[in-house]
Amino acid sequence: MSEENPETNVTATAPRRPRSIEDDESGHSVDVKAMKDDESFEHSMDIKAIGALEVKSETESEDYEEYEDKPTKGETFSNEPPEPARGWYKNGKGLYCTKKETVLFEALTYARIKVGTMKFSPLEWTSISWFSGLLVAAPLLASVSIHLDHRPNSQLITAIATAIGAIFCLPAGAIKTVWIMPPYVAAIVASNAVGSAFHNRHLGLMVRGFVGATIRKLQFPNRQAVSSQLSLYATAGGCLGSAAIASFTYYMLRNSEGFISLWVVSIFSGILWFAGIAHILTAVRSNGNESSINTNTRVSTRYFISIFNYPHAAGSLVGVFLSSFSTMSIFAGGVLYIVGQLCVPPRDLLFVWLTYFFFSALFLPLLHPIQKLIQSDAVKMQIFGFLLSTLTSGMGYYYRNANWHHNHVLFLAAVQSIASGVLHAHSRILLMDCAPSGKEGVFAAWFSWIRMLGAFVGFAIGSSGVGNMNRSFGAAFMAAVVGIVALIFSNVSSYGGAVAAGHVRKRRETDSPVLGWDEVVKVEEKGGLDGTKDRSIEA
């Protein structure tokens, strides 16, 4: 690509506007030649892609700024990111973007990382690093699942894995090379997978501790109420944490040194992750978990794939993948679209993020009594979440050529916030309903890995296309539709999975109310109250 001397540019006639507040405080015009020498603007000098800039004196630049002519229909970006006009940049939608957000968008989406003869954008490089983490996490989870279910040191292993992930967050900015990113991200992804498996398994143990290992059919709604309440509140708490991180990131990026600011955010995240170790080490195990621990060192190598012996559990993994894929594709594609195409300023972007995280945190606890009232199980709630995702992705795709107003963006963010929270909470509930006692660890490991795989694929598709939402929103819409069809016409159900897992026993309604459940179980095991076979209890 040939470069053009800025001093010989042809002067273009364009309307002038008052000086933008996003400009440099010094009030001087941009020295394009100096920007070329600066490392942060390397490979960003394709002036032809933007149009001719008017060479202005320092006096003129203090009072006026220049707009560019609207790009023609056939004009496209080159492989190298173009240099934005000073202060303002007019995109293909006719909207004016500030130089700060334009530079940020171009820095994320244009290929500048060379690997042999290929080039990758930072977002593509992140996807590659994420995939390497999934490859590392798969055999690690297969080994850890045995310790979660059959060894007494599951908490120690989880604490060590969490500590490793937290340590890798601390020196993330010490080595300024792109090659350090894949091993760093791989370690963080693998550590997060182990921690997620531990917490999901702990949810299954808590539900079993509240309602018992085996319950009657009439008591199954109580199990659903307990598991739903625990999972919804846990998801709401995670949303509050995400909102706090988003706010802290926005605060740090207001500083002039963006690289150091992001490093501080990474250090802060690592410190918070370290604090989570205290919760892991102090988690109280239920008595049922202690009795189910088997210290026998000879565990079959096929233990990790034993989930496929339970069709309801294996089928629920499809919903886990599709829900994670659709929500991440909408989130990644939507953020890039509103930044790169709608030119949403940083402060408004923060409001969108806070709406996305806070709305779910506030709505999910209110959803629990409604779910209990209508007696909706985890499958029906997942269908509800997929329907909301089709609404978000369908509207976004249909109005992809329109200039959205700020209230439209906030509305879609609020709807998708509910969808992502409902899908995450109830896909976890469904899989834990299908997990037999003593196998919560291996089922939770599968949930963790499949969910991360779906998020990876969604991020890879959502971040492709340079801010073009056709691909990301279209793929998310199709995934949500497939998820609805799969849940409706498949044989997967919370009750059926609980029965197959041994959590629910089918019994007649004529059981004596005098006998408690523990006494009924003992009678069934002995054959009857008088030592003979009791046909009514067996049925």
pLDDT of 341: 82
User: In the chain, what percentage of residues exceed pLDDT 70?
Assistant: 72
Residue 289 pLDDT greater than 50, yes or no: no
Structure tokens given for 120: 């990758």
Q: Hey, CA dihedral for 208, 325, 412, 103, is it positive or negative?
A: positive
Quick one: pLDDT at residue 302? 83
Using 50, 70 and 90 to split pLDDT, how confident is the model at 81? low
Tell me whether strands 96-98 and 88-90 are parallel, antiparallel or unpaired. antiparallel
**What's the rounded mean pLDDT across residues 134-138?**
93
pLDDT classification of 83: cutoffs 50, 70, 90: low
Q: In this predicted structure, what is the pLDDT of residue 213?
A: 80
DSSP of 432-456, one letter per residue? Answer: HHTPPTT-HHHHHHHHHHHHHHHHH
Mean pLDDT, rounded, for 345-356: 88
- Predicted confidence at residue 92, as pLDDT, reads 65
508 phi, psi to nearest 5 deg: -75, 155
The CATH code that applies to domain 106-285+301-501 is 1.20.1250.20
Q: 466: part of which helix (H) or strand (E)? A: none
pLDDT in tens, 220-258: 888 888 999 999 999 999 999 899 888 888 888 777 676
**Better-scored residue on pLDDT, 85 or 58:** 85
Look at residue 429 in the predicted model and tell me its pLDDT: 92
Number of helices followed by number of strands (H, E) in the chain: 18, 8
Above 90 in pLDDT, residue 486?
yes
For residue 14, pLDDT beyond 90:
no
207-216, 272-281, 292-301: which range is least confident on average? 292-301
Compute the distance between CA of residue 337 and CA of residue 255 in angstroms, rounded to an integer: 24
DSSP one-letter code for 72 = P
pLDDT for the residue 339: 84
What is residue 215's predicted lDDT score, i.e. its pLDDT? 87
Q: Say whether pTM exceeds 0.85.
A: no
Say how far apart CA 240 and CA 361 lie, in whole Å.
6
The predicted structure's pLDDT at residue 328: 95
C-alpha–C-alpha distance, residues 348 and 170, integer Å: 29
Please, which pLDDT band fits residue 89 given cuts at 50, 70 and 90?
A: low
* DSSP class per residue in 238-293: HHHHHHHHHHHHHHHHTSS-HHHHHHHHHHHHHHHHHHHHHHHHHPPPPHHHHHH-
pLDDT at 453 over 70: yes
Least confident of 232-236, 289-293, 527-531: 527-531
Quick one: average pLDDT of 162-173? Answer: 85
Indicate if the pLDDT at residue 419 is higher than 70.
yes
CB 56 within 8 A of CB 6: no
User: How does residue 23 score in pLDDT terms, banded at 50, 70 and 90?
Assistant: very low
pLDDT at residue number 19: 45
Least confident of 169-173, 447-451, 505-509: 505-509
Tell whether the model's pLDDT for residue 537 goes beyond 80. no
Q: At 34, is the pLDDT very low, low, confident or very high (cuts 50, 70, 90)? A: very low
Average of pLDDT values for 501-528?
52
Q: Which range scores top for mean pLDDT: 135-144, 233-242, 474-483? A: 474-483
pLDDT at 211: 86
Angle between helices 469-489 and 440-462 (to 10 degrees): 150
Is the distance from CB of 81 to CB of 41 less than 8 angstroms?
no
Q: Does 3 score more than 70 pLDDT? A: no
82 — pLDDT class (breaks 50, 70, 90):
low
Query: Around Cβ 116, how many Cβ atoms within 10 Å?
Result: 5
Round the average pLDDT of the chain to a whole number and report it.
76
Query: What's the mean pLDDT in 405-418?
Result: 92
pLDDT of residue 27: 40
pLDDT at 430 over 60: yes
